[in-house]
């Protein structure tokens, strides 16, 4: 009865006057800490991972983009507010959908977003890593969609891509993605949105991989670093759990570091006693909070809430325990104006048994260069050949000639000039190189009907770049190159500087994750989202003011009042 009275008061007040909240201040980075840009106060993540693994059947989509479903996000935001959430993490977004309503509602609720740029079908494959034109286009599209929302805290360029000491070379490709995404954000004139990486907690690589992503000049290093941390299980302590050791491990990291996932479920229900340690005096000098995994209850049993067949929410015991713990924290804080970082640089890790990725990074993907090369090829694959059969051609040709122009190796730091091009462009390059290598005889462009001759064209905007790259594609071009589909040069794009060639042969292909989460895959104990293909109109700009959803405002206020009054929040 008392709760109903509170609710009636809230409704009456809201009906009288309500306005959309101002845009949230952007979160900025100084040293290893986050700060509010408007007043310089320190920002700690009190986050929740927010994405369902359920397939979205609309339009053949295989991802349920939580930021494009206003009915669901407006339903969930009060529950997020009630547990003092200030950040949500989403693992994959559909760049063709409209996210403005959810982003505005989150803004009005005081909630920031940190989003992975990749998607399961568009991510760096740890077993065959590459940084390609298509992947870069995906990253740029995601940036374009979200760049103008001030409540976007940052982007993850990868999630657990390197997950043990057998695939550390993949990190070179993710770091190239960080470099290129940061430059794209700058070139487009967007605000300085941080770009970082989320790692697993592998004992053999955890320190080296953190050092690797954080080392180097500002233009190549990660702006922040997350670690998916599941060491504290059940009742534990700062020392017993391993948190004390991890805090020592990461004490020298010069950018903000946080738990990009946490919440071990070996003991259920989870009581989240680690929250007091994470936001306590032993850890806050090093860590900037964390993101609880996971909002939705799924087969992996990590949920804080469950959704029934009517799309109604029920809070679980984990939710109640987490709410109690997160509402009782009081982390120490500093002002950006009085904070001086103890260190701003970090040495890169040496290569060895457990770390093999070198600091030389793959070149920036450049579609114009690929198009120039492709147009200049006289011997090309026949249109009747299926892409699945390219591998047979690659295998034969690269056993005869040097195919380093299309390969990439994060262990040696040797990258071909065309390592980022599409499979068809790459097969055309090696077919033509084989043809020219053998005297340009027509008999050397047949391959049992798999190849054919055509008229080749070298555009004026391409000639200097193709000359610099060389016939074998071994030299990385660092200047401007232009290609026009009409045949005359127009527009331009620039390749990054690098050098070297790979001694290995074979095709470099874009990777796909076998897991729901983008970029790498999750362990079988935790699930995640998959990629989306459904389409509708896309909006990239967050309006400075917009019509707010009245029902959302009411629900949010009810949630806040209920918590303040000490009542459990129950909604149908």
Residues taking part in catalysis: 160, 261
d(CA 125, CA 424): 19
Q: Alpha-carbon Rg of the chain, whole angstroms? A: 26
Tell me 296's DSSP state.
Answer: B
3-state secondary structure of 196: strand
Which residues 6+ apart lie within 8 Å of 469 measured at CB? 369, 373, 405, 417, 418, 475, 476, 477
Query: How many CA atoms are closer than 13 Å to the CA of 264, on its beta-carbon side?
Result: 16
Which residues 6+ apart lie within 8 Å of 392 measured at CB? none
122 strand-pairing partners: 119
48 strand-pairing partners: 88, 292
Q: Which one, of 418, 420, 279, 249, lies nearest residue 346 by Cα?
A: 249
CB atoms under 10 Å from CB of 78, counted, come to 22
307 strand-pairing partners: 313
Q: Which one, of 253, 239, 248, lies nearest residue 196 by Cα?
A: 253
Concatenating the DSSP letter of every residue in 357-386 gives --S--PPPP-HHHHHHHHHT-SEEE-TTS-
Q: Which one, of 403, 392, 459, 450, lies nearest residue 429 by Cα?
A: 403
3-state secondary structure of 241: coil
Q: Which one, of 519, 539, 132, 202, lies nearest residue 355 by Cα?
A: 202
Q: Sign of the CA dihedral 421, 140, 94, 55?
A: positive
Task: Determine if the peptide bond prior to 199 is cis (ω within 30°).
Answer: no
d(CA 423, CA 390): 8
d(CA 152, CA 99): 12
Total number of residues shown for the chain: 572
Which residues 6+ apart lie within 8 Å of 198 measured at CB? 116, 156, 158, 159, 160, 226, 227, 228, 260, 261
Q: Which one, of 303, 297, 369, lies nearest residue 136 by Cα?
A: 369
d(CA 371, CA 158): 27
Cα dihedral 73/75/80/81 (nearest 10): 110
């Amino acid at each position: 009865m008392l709760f109903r009275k509170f609710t009636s008061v809230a409704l009456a007040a809201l009906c009288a006057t309500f306005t959309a909240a101002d845009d949230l201040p952007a979160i900025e980075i100084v040293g290893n800490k986050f700060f509010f840009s408007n007043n310089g106060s320190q920002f700690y993540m009190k986050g929740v991972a927010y994405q369902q693994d359920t397939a979205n059947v609309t339009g053949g989509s295989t991802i349920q983009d939580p930021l494009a479903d206003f009915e669901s996000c407006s339903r969930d935001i009060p529950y997020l507010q009630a547990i003092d959430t200030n950040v949500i993490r989403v693992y994959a977004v559909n760049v063709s959908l409209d996210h403005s309503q959810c982003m505005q509602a989150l803004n009005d609720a005081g909630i920031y977003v940190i989003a992975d740029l990749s998607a399961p079908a568009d991510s760096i494959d740890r077993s065959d890593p590459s940084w390609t034109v298509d992947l870069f286009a995906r990253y740029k599209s995601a940036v374009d969609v979200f760049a103008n929302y001030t409540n976007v805290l940052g982007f993850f360029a990868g999630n657990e891509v390197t997950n043990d000491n057998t695939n550390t070379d993949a990190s070179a490709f993710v770091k190239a993605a960080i470099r290129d995404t940061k430059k794209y954000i700058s070139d487009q004139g967007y605000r300085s949105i941080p770009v970082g990486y989320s790692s697993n907690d592998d004992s053999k690589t955890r320190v080296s991989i953190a050092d690797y992503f954080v080392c180097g000049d500002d233009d190549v290093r990660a702006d922040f670093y997350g670690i998916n941390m599941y060491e504290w299980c059940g009742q534990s302590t700062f020392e017993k759990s391993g948190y004390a050791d991890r805090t020592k491990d990461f004490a020298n990291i010069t950018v903000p570091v946080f738990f990009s996932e946490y919440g071990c479920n070996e003991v259920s229900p989870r009581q989240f006693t680690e929250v007091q340690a994470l936001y306590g005096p032993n850890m806050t000098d090093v860590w900037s909070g964390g993101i609880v995994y996971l909002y939705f209850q799924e087969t992996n049993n990590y949920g804080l809430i469950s959704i029934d067949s009517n799309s109604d929410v029920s809070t679980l015991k984990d939710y109640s325990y987490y709410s109690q713990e997160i509402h009782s924290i009081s982390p120490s804080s500093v002002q950006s104006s009085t904070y001086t970082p103890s260190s701003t640089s970090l040495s890169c890790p040496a290569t060895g048994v457990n770390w093999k990725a070198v600091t030389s990074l793959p070149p920036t993907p450049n579609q114009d260069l690929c198009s120039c090369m492709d147009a200049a090829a006289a011997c090309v694959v026949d249109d009747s050949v299926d892409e699945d059969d390219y591998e047979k051609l690659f295998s034969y040709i690269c056993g005869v000639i040097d195919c380093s122009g299309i390969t990439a190796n994060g262990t040696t730091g040797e990258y071909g000039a065309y390592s980022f091009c599409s499979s068809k462009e790459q097969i055309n390059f090696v077919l033509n190189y084989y043809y020219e290598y053998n005297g340009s005889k027509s008999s050397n462009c047949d391959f049992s009907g798999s190849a054919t001759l055509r008229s080749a064209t070298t555009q004026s905007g391409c000639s200097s770049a193709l000359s610099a790259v060389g016939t074998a594609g071994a030299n990385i071009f660092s200047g401007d190159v232009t290609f026009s589909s009409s045949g005359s040069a127009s527009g331009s794009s620039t390749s990054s500087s690098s050098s070297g060639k790979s001694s290995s042969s074979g095709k470099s292909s874009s990777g796909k994750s076998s897991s729901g989460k983008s970029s790498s895959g999750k362990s079988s104990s935790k699930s995640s989202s998959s990629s989306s293909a459904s389409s509708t109109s896309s909006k990239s700009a967050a309006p400075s003011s917009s019509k707010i959803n009245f029902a959302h405002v009411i629900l949010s206020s009810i949630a806040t009042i209920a918590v303040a009054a000490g009542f459990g929040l129950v909604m149908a």
